[in-house]
Amino acid sequence: MFGCIVSGRLIQTEAQQIDQTHFVFNIENTENINHVVVFLLGTVPFPDGLGGSVFFSWPSPEGPQWQLLGHISNQKPSAIFKITKVKPEDIIKSGPFGMMAAQANFQNNTISQIGISVEPLSSIAQQTPAVGVQPSAMDSFTQFTTKMLENFYNYASSFAVTQAQMVPQPNETFVPSSALQNWFTNFQRRLQQNPNFWKS
């Protein structure tokens, strides 16, 4: 249902389900990450009236320190978030995940997590993300290009089949989804470094 991209890395599409309404992605080596993209895969929409609050947790000896990044929904199927070091006023120790996600996969306090909590849109609308997590100064061209890439990836991924599911079709050409993932990640990285790279 959900996908996650850490800038410069492969796409993650298999979130760990903690319970019926909570999902996490484990992120290793988080010292140098700046932005993450969280999105719906396009295969399963949210039920009517529901969306997903997106949280980020830095590893900490004291336990998880969650901060609210923002949200995604059927009307906003993807979002880019800037990751900043957690500030005391932004910590949500008793948030929707509490200790459960940490107990599931916080190993030696080295793994960060992105958590998605499925909640009513009315509750999501009243939440206030941590200051500075939304990237500022992203021009409209970069926003359009990013949305277009996410839309293309979601569309192409909706046709994905495993090798066992493939039926020989002599008139069709198949592209491995890993090639699509690599292209998507590389294009996004280059776009973040220089929004005009495609002109050269």
Q: How far apart are CA 197 and CA 190, in angstroms?
A: 7
Backbone angles phi, psi at 87, to 5 degrees: -105, 150
Domain ranges of the chain: 2-124, 140-199
CA-wise closest residue to 70 among 8, 18, 14, 132: 132
Alpha carbons 145 and 193: distance in angstroms, whole number? 14
109 falls in which pLDDT band (50, 70, 90)?
A: low
- Look at residues 69, 71, 76 and name the one whose alpha carbon lies nearest to residue 131: 69
Give me the pLDDT at residue 102, please.
46
Under DSSP, the state recorded for 89 is G
Residue 11 has pLDDT above 50, yes or no: yes
Q: In the prediction, which pLDDT does 137 show?
A: 46
Q: What is the mean pLDDT of residues 46-57?
A: 93
> What local confidence, expressed as pLDDT, does residue 91 receive?
58
Q: How far is CA 76 from the centre of its chain?
A: 13
Which of 62-66, 156-160, 186-190 is least confident? 62-66
pLDDT tens sequence across 59-91: 777 766 788 899 999 999 998 888 866 555 555
Can you point out the beta strands (E) in the chain?
Answer: 2-6, 16-19, 22-27, 35-40, 50-58, 65-72, 78-82, 112-120
Mean pLDDT of the chain: 78
CB 13 within 8 A of CB 154: no
Q: Is the pLDDT of residue 99 over 70?
A: no
| Residue 45 pLDDT exceeds 70 | yes
Closest CA to 92 of 51, 135, 128: 128
Confidence grade of residue 105 (pLDDT, cut at 50, 70, 90): very low
pLDDT at position 39 over 60: yes
Winning range, highest mean pLDDT, from 76-80, 142-146, 155-159, 169-173: 76-80
Residue 131's pLDDT band, with cuts at 50, 70 and 90, is: low
Note if the pTM is more than 0.85: no
